[in-house]
């Protein structure tokens, strides 16, 4: 495509009002190739040649060489760089040449596993392998086929959830796989971060433990999008040493990457035109020019809205084009998603509006443009989404539309912070006590714990095992620790995508059927009485919350509003772990107890965001222990606030909001993974404090990263506030969409003075 001509067309439109904040030209690059240390088996070499997969790029050859040498390998290269061959070649060679050898492939979603299975069948069956030698095993696998898969499949493609709940607890049935397991492949490894990643680390340690029982010692091959700490991340996931391969030798056609900032429509409040309207405009223009495009939206509801607006607009100007776009998101039936993927791959569709469900490596062919409605939360995810276009050697175009929040607007004003900054760190915490204890119970079910398990589970094993003994969940006998008879099949009750195994059931009263399960830690915020809950694009009104039975009841509604919970959060310091002097003040890291009480909710009109009502709630407080960073405020800055008669509490609150919004710039996390508390006088310290904490029990490493980079966090937060053109504070700088106090009090000028004081300026 001619990106310059299309951008010139956009800037000539009546709707253009200076939206292009920055354009980065990423130049094309040629492929670089390398040879293997030893030639491949002839039949595998011929098969790869036939499909034009040879010669190998430099990173592919390096990864295969290291895997053949018995190393654990982490491949961290760009989207569409051919990472699949980095693991398929050593695995298939082993399966071809070593009698009985097996491999296990882990993908974060069922759809990815199915897509990879199709690829294996198309490339290597029936020339090298029988169809039944490759199989997916997940929740959709029919019971009648499972025994045959365990018996015949040489490569099992599954997900961490099924490994956790279906394979490891039933390891006797999987003894053939575990005894002969040669390779474990962990694809899209950057997805395994935070709570989910910490759980996956526990699952992989349990897998290694059972492999030892059956006498195997598999090598691990991990593949990831580009992150700042690929080697450390892989080692934390698997608990083993890794060698990193990140010298990307794949060709690239070049890309124009445009930062597109919606124009301001209210100068005083710094209110911008809707990012969803901008996405609709860009998507319809691309499709109208027959440019094959993919537009990403942040939620299922917004995906449907942008699709509906785009379809309506195309139907007015060019009706046949309206039939060539579709929406794609989780919640659709699997066969419906497969059909959309196939239509996009074959070129029947010109465009799709999707959630992040299409961010991962499902093969949807060569697209020419991508539109990202809002910063996806990390630099790695942004490149993953943008990388869905330009997967061949042709030129491509990507747009990142800025939302009204501090991080999006920071990038709009400081594009170098995106294009020239190294990628974020992927954070996992396998030692999180809540997560580790859960996997120790699962491990004890699979095989009694013993003193050698410290080599696998780490130095905190004895402490957490003792705590489980104290709670009566483990019983010691002859230096082995057995699961209490009162606990049956612990994996069943442990959701590896949350820190709490406890869930609330949401029942649709119109059909008396289960709609969803909601994690206990967010249930009071999402399914309190009076809440509007969105499920697959439909609205439901929650009529009752039964705390004793952990069940919420909801009925379909056409209400034109949504609800936002109001809460009060208290925080007490349990233990200071570390402290350091920074500029004019002292910064601390430690364990805290957070108590949150949901006290009511607001009803807000859709689209206008107008508050149309508030109602109180009477719910019990929730307590959890986690990790936080906090810091004192410099006396000079506080004195200046008093002198200028500014709102001290409002300044603390505003600085806390902005810092929480900016922290994901440094840690691979979402704003919702972080909480905060600010107070002019904290009872534990007797001083004014700002706390930033991991919003997950036990913590997953976010607060530690903030503690390590605190001065950079202060500097970037100050820039975001200072450069926002609003007068008194807006969603682009100090307001938070999840503030339990309705964004009151806030004082933008006071926040600037406090941050300047922290930095000594």
Provide the phi-psi class of 728: left if phi over 0, else alpha when psi is between -120 and 50, else beta. alpha
Q: Evaluate whether 194 touches 425 at the Cβ level (below 8 Å).
A: no
Average pLDDT over residues 396-420: 93
Q: Evaluate whether 385 touches 357 at the Cβ level (below 8 Å).
A: no
Tell me the C-alpha distance between 621 and 593, whole Å: 12
544 pLDDT tier (thresholds 50, 70, 90): very high
Average pLDDT over residues 363-370: 82
* Phi and psi angles of residue 98, each rounded to the nearest 5 degrees, phi first: -115, 115
In sequence order, the 6+-apart residues with CB closer than 8 A to the CB of 719 are 410, 413, 414
360 pLDDT tier (thresholds 50, 70, 90): low
Higher per-residue pLDDT: 1 or 96: 96
Per-residue pLDDT of 205-233, as tens digits, reads: 999 999 999 999 999 999 998 888 999 99
Per-residue pLDDT of 592-644, as tens digits, reads: 999 999 999 999 887 666 889 999 999 999 999 999 999 999 999 999 999 99
Per-residue pLDDT of 283-292, as tens digits, reads: 999 999 999 9
Q: Which helix (H) or strand (E) holds 579?
A: strand 561-582
Check whether 528 has a pLDDT greater than 70: yes
Tell me the C-alpha distance between 478 and 44, whole Å: 51
Angle made by CA atoms 374, 362, 200, in degrees to the nearest 5: 80
The distance between the two most distant Cα atoms of the chain, rounded to a whole number of Å, is 82
Tell me the C-alpha distance between 177 and 210, whole Å: 11
Per-residue pLDDT of 502-524, as tens digits, reads: 789 999 999 999 887 888 888 99
Average pLDDT over residues 533-552: 87
171 pLDDT tier (thresholds 50, 70, 90): very high
237 pLDDT tier (thresholds 50, 70, 90): very high
Check whether 537 has a pLDDT greater than 60: no
For residue 760, give Cα distances in angstroms to 348, 583, 586, 714, 715. 59, 6, 13, 11, 11
pLDDT at 36: 97
Check whether 392 has a pLDDT greater than 70: no
Cα first-last separation, the chain = 49
Query: Which letter does DSSP use for residue 692 in this model?
Result: E
**DSSP class per residue in 702-726:** HHHHHHHTHHHHHHHHHHHHHT---
Task: Give the chain's radius of gyration (CA, Å).
Answer: 27
Q: Evaluate whether 600 touches 617 at the Cβ level (below 8 Å).
A: yes
Check whether 429 has a pLDDT greater than 60: yes
Per-residue pLDDT of 670-706, as tens digits, reads: 777 899 999 999 999 999 999 999 998 888 889 999 9
10 Å Cβ neighbour count for 192? 26
Average pLDDT over residues 350-366: 77
Tell me the C-alpha distance between 22 and 261, whole Å: 9
10 Å Cβ neighbour count for 629? 26
In sequence order, the 6+-apart residues with CB closer than 8 A to the CB of 666 are 424, 425, 705, 706, 709, 712, 713
pLDDT at 611: 86
Check whether 536 has a pLDDT greater than 60: no
* Phi and psi angles of residue 75, each rounded to the nearest 5 degrees, phi first: -100, 120
The residues with which 155 forms a beta bridge, in sequence order, are: 103, 134
pTM of the complete model? 0.84
* Phi and psi angles of residue 253, each rounded to the nearest 5 degrees, phi first: -85, -5
Tell me the C-alpha distance between 362 and 326, whole Å: 17
**CA neighbor of 209 nearest in space, from 163, 244, 242:** 163
pLDDT at 346: 87
Provide the phi-psi class of 204: left if phi over 0, else alpha when psi is between -120 and 50, else beta. alpha
pLDDT at 363: 65
pLDDT at 329: 75
pLDDT at 179: 97
Tell me the C-alpha distance between 133 and 248, whole Å: 31
Per-residue pLDDT of 560-590, as tens digits, reads: 888 989 999 999 999 999 999 998 899 999 9
Helix segments in 490-566, DSSP class H: 520-526
Average pLDDT over residues 717-737: 91
CA atoms within 13 A on the CB side of 83: 29
Instruction: Find tokens 């310059």 and name the residue.
Output: 4
Instruction: Find tokens 């170098």 and name the residue.
Output: 416
Calculate what percentage of the chain has a pLDDT beyond 90. 73
Q: Is the peptide bond before 141 cis (omega within 30 degrees of 0)?
A: no
Calculate what percentage of the chain has a pLDDT beyond 70. 97
């Amino acid at each position: 495509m001619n990106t310059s001509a299309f951008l010139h067309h956009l800037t000539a439109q009546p709707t253009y009002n200076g939206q292009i904040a920055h354009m980065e030209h990423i130049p094309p690059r040629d492929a670089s190739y390398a040879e293997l240390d030893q030639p491949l088996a002839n039949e595998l070499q011929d098969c790869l040649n036939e499909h034009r997969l040879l010669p190998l790029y430099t990173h592919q050859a390096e990864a295969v060489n290291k895997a053949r040498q018995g190393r654990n390998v982490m491949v961290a290269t760009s989207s569409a760089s051919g990472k699949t061959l980095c693991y398929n070649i050593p695995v298939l060679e082993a399966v071809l040449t070593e009698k009985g050898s097996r491999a296990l492939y882990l993908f974060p979603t069922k759809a990815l596993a199915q897509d990879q299975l199709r690829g294996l069948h198309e490339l290597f069956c029936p020339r090298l392998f029988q169809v039944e030698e490759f199989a997916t095993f997940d929740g959709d696998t029919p019971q009648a086929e499972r025994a045959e898969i365990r018996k015949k499949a040489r490569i099992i493609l599954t997900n961490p959830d099924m490994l956790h709940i279906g394979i490891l607890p039933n390891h006797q049935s999987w003894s053939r796989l575990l005894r002969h397991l040669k390779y474990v492949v962990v694809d899209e490894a950057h997805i395994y971060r935070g709570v989910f990643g910490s759980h996956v680390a526990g699952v992989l340690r349990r897998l290694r433990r059972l492999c030892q029982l059956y006498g195997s010692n598999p090598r691990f091959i991990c593949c990831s999008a580009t992150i700042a700490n690929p080697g450390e991340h892989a080692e934390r996931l698997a608990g083993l040493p890794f060698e990193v391969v990140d010298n990307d030798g794949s060709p690239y056609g070049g890309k124009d990457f445009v930062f597109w900032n919606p124009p301001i429509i209210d100068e005083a409040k710094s209110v911008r035109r809707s990012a969803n309207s901008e996405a609709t405009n860009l998507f319809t223009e691309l499709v109208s020019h027959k440019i094959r495009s993919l537009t990403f939206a942040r939620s299922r509801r917004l995906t449907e809205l942008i699709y509906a607006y785009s379809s309506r607009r195309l139907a007015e100007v060019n009706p046949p084009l309206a039939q060539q776009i579709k929406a794609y998101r989780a919640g659709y039936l699997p066969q419906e998603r497969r059909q959309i993927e196939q239509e996009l791959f074959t070129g029947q569709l010109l465009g799709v509006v999707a959630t992040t469900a299409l961010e991962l490596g499902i093969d949807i062919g060569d697209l020419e443009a991508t539109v990202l409605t809002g910063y996806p939360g990390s630099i790695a995810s942004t490149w993953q989404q943008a990388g869905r276009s330009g997967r061949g050697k042709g030129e491509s175009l990507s747009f990142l539309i800025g939302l009204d929040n501090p991080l999006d607007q920071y990038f709009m004003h400081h594009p170098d912070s995106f294009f020239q900054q190294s990628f974020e760190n992927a954070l996992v915490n396998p030692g999180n006590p809540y997560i580790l204890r859960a996997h120790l119970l699962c491990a004890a079910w699979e095989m009694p714990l013993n003193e050698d398990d410290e080599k696998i589970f780490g130095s905190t094993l004895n402490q957490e095992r003792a705590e489980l003994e104290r709670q009566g969940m483990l019983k010691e006998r002859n230096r082995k620790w057995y699961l209490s008879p009162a606990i049956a099949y612990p994996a069943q009750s442990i959701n590896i995508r949350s820190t709490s195994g406890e869930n609330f059931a949401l029942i649709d009263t119109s059909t008396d059927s289960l709609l969803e399960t909601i994690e206990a830690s967010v249930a009071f915020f999402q399914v309190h009485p009076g809440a509007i809950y969105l499920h697959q694009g439909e609205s439901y009104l929650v009529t009752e919350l039964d705390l004793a039975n952990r069940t919420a009841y909801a009925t379909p509604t056409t209400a034109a509003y949504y609800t936002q919970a109001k809460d009060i959060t208290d925080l007490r310091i349990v233990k200071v772990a570390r402290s350091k002097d920074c500029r004019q003040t002292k910064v601390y890291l430690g364990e805290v107890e957070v108590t949150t009480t949901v006290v009511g909710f607001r009803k807000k009109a859709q689209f206008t965001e107008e508050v149309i009502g508030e109602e109180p709630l009477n719910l019990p407080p929730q307590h959890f222990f986690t990790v936080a960073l906090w810091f004192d405020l410099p006396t000079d800055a506080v004195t200046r606030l008093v002198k200028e008669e500014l709102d001290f509490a409002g300044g603390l609150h505003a600085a806390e909001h902005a810092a929480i919004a900016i922290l994901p710039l440094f840690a691979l996390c979402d704003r919702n993974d972080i909480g905060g508390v600010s107070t002019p006088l904290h009872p534990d310290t007797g001083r004014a404090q700002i706390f930033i904490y991991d919003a997950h029990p036990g913590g997953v490493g976010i607060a530690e990263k903030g503690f390590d980079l605190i001065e950079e966090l202060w500097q970037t937060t100050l820039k975001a506030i200072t450069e926002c053109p609003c007068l008194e504070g807006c969603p682009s700088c100090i307001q938070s969409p999840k503030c339990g106090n309705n964004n009151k009090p806030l004082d933008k000028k006071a926040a600037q003075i406090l941050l300047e004081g922290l930095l000594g300026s």
